[in-house]
Amino acid sequence: MAEKIEFRKVREFGEIIGDTFLFLRQNFKPLMKAFIYLCGIFMLGGILTSIMTQLELGGMQENLRNSSNFSGGEIWTSVSKFAVRYLLMLLLMILSYTSIYVTILSYVALYIQKGNIAPNVEEVWSYYKFYFFRMLGSGIVMSLFLVLCFVCCFFPGVYVFPAVSIFYPIMVIENASLAYSFNRSFKLLQNEWWPTAGAILVIFIITYACTLFVQMPATIIAMISAFTHAEKPITKTYAIVTSISQYLSQVFLIIPITAATLIYFNLVERKESTGLMDRIDGLGKTPQQFNATPEEY
């Protein structure tokens, strides 16, 4: 049986990628159980609203093509319904992404505190409800910051992306504020930007390939609809399949989140060696029972 993954250690480029998938393989059942319990409701709501939004968009396009048969009030009503459903879809998407990040990072934090033992759903939930709204607000701020960097000039966005990637593990693992996590992410990246960016790039290429595989049925249906339903490209089948595949592919976010956490610990160990010192201090000592509820500093 393979040895349990130790997060707090120095890793080379290949070890980060290899240990990411080893951790996921070793923790697949308990991690997916926590994922389904804590993220499933947002994903299900997102699928339903995405289907309704796409069908509403198809109906609105049909009304606009036949605008001579509809009054301005009817068209405005259709546009208003689409706008409301689209905003609801965006809200559920944000909640879904936040839930995934909080679930995975809470699982990892508890896994480390328990001495590389998988936590149960109740333990993950205790961290989840503690960090959810903090992560929600911080995630919106960091997303806007990253978009602004890419809009102003492409290269600033590329430069800050590795820092944004490890920002979220810092917030949960160190129970930190937005300002502290932001500053610490850039400090940890000093003199380590290139290997960190390289590892993140490879991980995101792998994740993107996995999502493309899941979304392949929707792509095929879209191509068929373009030829067979040229007058109405958004069919019910297309809306259902694309919505389900889009949200199912979110499962693969587990890969970059886990990798970002390993990268964070790799950077901490290279600069501070906290994990090594903890292991040295713990020699000959029996593990103490930990408190599953995080303390607020």
Domain boundaries, the chain: 13-278
User: Cα(130)–Cα(124) distance, rounded to whole angstroms?
Assistant: 10
User: Cα(214)–Cα(249) distance, rounded to whole angstroms?
Assistant: 6
Number of CB atoms found within 10 A of residue 116's CB = 15
Taking only the tens of pLDDT, the chain with its 297 residues reads 568 899 999 999 899 999 999 999 999 999 999 999 999 999 999 999 998 888 887 777 666 666 555 555 666 777 787 888 889 999 999 999 999 999 999 999 999 999 999 999 999 999 999 999 999 999 999 999 999 998 887 888 899 999 999 999 999 999 999 999 999 999 999 999 999 999 999 999 999 999 988 888 777 877 776 677 655 656 777 788 888 888 989 999 999 999 999 999 999 999 887 655 555 555 555 444 444 445 443
Q: In this structure, what DSSP letter does residue 9 have? A: S
Closest CA to 25 of 264, 262, 260, 255: 255
User: Cα(62)–Cα(184) distance, rounded to whole angstroms?
Assistant: 52
Task: Name residues whose C-beta falls within 8 Å of residue 121's C-beta, 6 or more positions apart in sequence.
Answer: 33, 34, 37, 38
- Nearest 5°: phi and psi at 96? -65, -50
User: Cα(19)–Cα(157) distance, rounded to whole angstroms?
Assistant: 27
Note the pLDDT of residue 297: 38
Note the pLDDT of residue 278: 59
Q: What is the pTM of this model?
A: 0.87
Task: Name residues whose C-beta falls within 8 Å of residue 59's C-beta, 6 or more positions apart in sequence.
Answer: 78
